[in-house]
Amino acid sequence: MNQKQLQDITALYGRLSRDDEMSGESMSIQSQRAILGQYAKEHGFTNCRFFMDDGYSGTNFDRPAFIEMMELVQQGRVKTILVKDLSRLGRNYLEVGRYTEVIFPEYKVRFIAITDGVDSAVGENEFAPFKNIINEWYAKDISRKVKSAFKAKALRGEYTGAYPPYGYDRDPADRHKLVPNQYSSVIGEIFRMALEGKTCGQIARELERQQILRPQAYLHEKFGKFVSDRILQYPFAWDHSSVRAILMNQVYIGNMVHFRTGSKNFKEKKLIWKPETDWIVVEGTHEPLVDAETFWTVQERVKVKQPRKRCCNANIFRGLLFCGECGKRMAFCNRKNEKRRKSLGSFSCNTNRRYGGKFCTTHYITLEQVKSIVLEDIRRNAMLASEDTGRYIDYLMQLSKAGQADEINALKKELETSRHRLAELATLVQRIYEDHVFDRLPEELYQTLSAKYEAETKNLKARTAEIQTQLAESASKTQNSRDFAALVAPYADITELDEELVHTLIEKIVIHEKEILDGLPVMRIEIYYRFIGKVQDQLSAGKTAKNKTEPAAPADSIA
């Protein structure tokens, strides 16, 4: 190969994205090859080399063939670049303009877009910038249409992922529906271990010990994807991130969740996590693999930061205890001297531990004290629920109403006022619009009033929706009380707590600082149960716990 062949390359560049392919245009790679080859032959271009990117979007320039061609350009080895039209080079008009007007001239590369009549050797084409803008608009329009189609499918509860989630297959009768497969039992086992208190890392090691295929290895086995030496060599090497992703995926309770990730705009291909307010969640679209109660209990556990040190099995309250003053989580300290220790460990305020007594007090309490108080309170509620369920539910409702009656009345009054004001605003907007149409209201004043009324209407509608949600939650208290009564009733005779039981029944435990009551140091403890919240406060006095045994006491009474 002589020096001229190495240097004077005619680069014939083609590109085809999936969107272009679906649009029905005659832009196949074969068609572009034929057009570019024929043009080069007719116009005497020699030393031609094809650079083809099949399946790459024109909105970004991170394409393998294009990168290879530009490396040769930067080495000074390319003399001419031929494309079928400007859109084949790209659909980002700023980037296309930078290449055609700055980079190519800098390296003395002749650029030709055949069907658009662009040839840098015969001067600038005044229409080219407008053509680039039109090409970008086309890409933006395609992106909008694709997103609209996916949103419509999401709202119908259809599955739109490339591959089904671990534990599911596509329904043979409807590829947008999911059905459990042979690994569905593995999902149940993962959630069971998480409920028992195992960390994501511990679950991963147990799955590896059982020789269960990890998700990437399963996709490789079924679909031939994720081919890598690591996956082929270690198909059972689960990691904590894979376990965590499964535990946090609502698909396993029968919900379809879409738009959890996305890009900033149609030009940016990097995916980012979106806030939950932007998600589309459709419930009950397929058969669940775990029940909702287990799933949401596990979510609270997953949120808690996993300890990096040796795990202490003694702490069954991991992530549940909070300081009653600063609101931060309580830190657990394990006793190291097992022979001399009188307690398995203790809790204290994390703020106090990190920043000292100027910011918060210690709130010191032993693990045994917390266990004693929680055990007795669970048994008390379980006994009342099992002996007379109806009376116990009425008692819970009375507690709820006693604490929320004034708040509910205030919300109802505010809702009525907001609705009345919204009706007034609708009338005012209609009036100023009519006055504006008939020239009774100047344009500037109309715009000012219109913006003011629109902003007020928007705020009132948001507040109205918030109030309605709060009132609906209040109305669901009866069902919540029934659910909790059924959940706690079987534990009337328990003698010992375990981690699974504690995290199933309890949402959080708030520890207040010691105070002197009747000459004795006591510590007030608030236990918030799932479904119903706080039933009443408990007291820790020294090493004993004094708890109420009758349901007639009002909320916040000192037991």
Same domain, 172 and 133: no
Q: Which of 235, 268, 303 is the last residue of a domain?
A: 303
Are 295 and 183 contained in the same domain?
yes
How many other C-beta atoms can be found within 10 angstroms of the C-beta atom of residue 355?
12
Residue 419 lies in a domain: yes
Is 123 found in the same domain as 224? Answer: no
| Cα–Cα dist 266/140, whole Å | 6
Closest to 257 (Cα-Cα) out of 148, 145, 161: 161
Asked if residue 238 belongs to a domain, the reply is: yes
117 alpha-carbon distance from chain centroid: 48
Residue by residue, DSSP assigns 285-323 as SS--SS-HHHHHHHHHHHHSPPPSS---TT-TTTTTEEE
CA 373 to chain centre: 36
pLDDT reported for residue 374: 92
Asked if the structure places residue 128 within a domain, the reply is: yes
- 107 plus 209 within the same structural domain: no
The predicted structure's pLDDT at residue 338: 53
| 357 within a domain of the structure (yes/no) | no
**Are the beta carbons of 431 and 450 closer than 8 angstroms?**
no
In DSSP terms, 118 is beta-bridged to 113
Among the listed residues 370, 388, 369, 401, the one whose alpha carbon sits nearest the alpha carbon of residue 550: 388
In a domain, 496, yes or no: no
Which residue ranges of the chain lie beneath pLDDT 70?
1-6, 18-27, 124-132, 134-147, 225-232, 264-269, 304-313, 336-343, 399-406, 473-478, 536-559
One domain, residues 138 and 26? yes
Residue 278 structural domain = 168-303
238-249 pLDDT, tens per residue?
888 889 989 988
- Of 61, 117, 62, which Cα lies nearest the Cα of 91? 61
Last residue of a domain, one of 303, 320, 349: 303
- Tokens encoding 475: 């109305």
For residue 547, the model assigns a pLDDT of: 39
Residues 413, 271: Cα–Cα separation, whole Å: 45
Q: Is the pTM of this model over 0.85?
A: no
Between CA 235 and CA 20 the distance in angstroms is 37
489: which DSSP letter?
G
Residues 35 and 69 in one domain: yes
Does 75 fall in a domain? yes
- Same domain for 55 and 98? yes
The total of other beta-carbon atoms located within 10 Å of residue 210's CB is 11
Pick from 137, 138, 126: nearest CA to 100 = 126
184 with 285, same domain: the answer is yes
- For residues 85 and 203, state if they share a domain: no
Which of 443, 459, 477 corresponds to the end of one domain? 477
Answer yes or no: are the C-beta atoms of 11 and 51 closer than 8 Å: yes
Nearby residues of 17 by Cβ (< 8 Å), 6 or more positions away: 55, 56, 57, 58
Among residues 183, 168, 186, 199, the alpha carbon closest in space to that of 298 is found at: 199
Q: How many domains does the chain have?
A: 3
* 135 and 47 co-located in one domain: yes
Per-residue pLDDT, 26: 42
- Quick one: 142 and 223 in the same domain? no
* Residue 554 pLDDT: 35
Nearest to 246 by CA among 306, 186, 287, 177: 186
Other Cβ atoms closer than 10 A to 3: 7
User: Domain of 263: which CATH number?
Assistant: 3.90.1750
Same structural domain, 284 and 198: yes
Alpha helices (H) in 356-388, listed in sequence order: 367-387
The one-letter amino acid code at 95 reads E
**Helix (H) or strand (E) segment spanning residue 221:** helix 215-223
Backbone angles phi, psi at 326, to 5 degrees: -90, -15
> What's the pLDDT score for residue 129?
67
Residue (of 379, 375, 367, 381) closest to 543 by Cα position: 367
Question: Considering the domain boundaries, does residue 344 fall inside one?
Answer: no
Q: Is the residue at 375 inside a domain?
A: no
CA distance 210 to 236: 9
